[in-house]
Amino acid sequence: MDIKRFIEDWLAASNAYDTDSYLDKYHKTAELDDPSVGRIFKGHSGIKEYFEDYFIEYKTQTKLIRLEIIHDNAAHIEVEFTGKFPEGRIGGVFDFTFKDDKIASVKAYLQ
């Protein structure tokens, strides 16, 4: 799996608000943990809710700042979010694990 390409495609789907392509990047049993909203989102239905509520609703655009490939099934990225939220611009971090060429789990942090 080409993790760099995968992350670029994931960000492109996110920035285009392409829900189907975004969800296709996630394993069906994936979990997304975002302590800033106080929830763990499970499976495609949970991750879809997260994407719609925090990315589409706020017109969030995500810019890759740094990518660190930790292992052939793990990566860490630093990003910058812009959108229609109070801060207007804020940093973030995602820690990914991959399974079957899809996201198995991701933990998201705001900075």
For residue 100, give the CATH number of its domain. 3.10.450.50
Q: Domain span at residue 34?
A: 3-110
* Nearest CA among 15, 37, 4 for reference residue 108: 37
pLDDT over 90 percentage in the chain: 97
pLDDT confidence tier of residue 111, bands split at 50, 70 and 90: confident
Number of independent structural domains in the chain? 1
Q: What is the pLDDT of residues 21-56, one digit of tens each?
A: 999 999 999 999 999 999 999 999 999 999 999 999
pLDDT confidence tier of residue 69, bands split at 50, 70 and 90: very high
**Token pair of 64 as six digits:** 């890759």
- pLDDT score at 7: 99
* Nearest CA among 64, 65, 37 for reference residue 50: 37
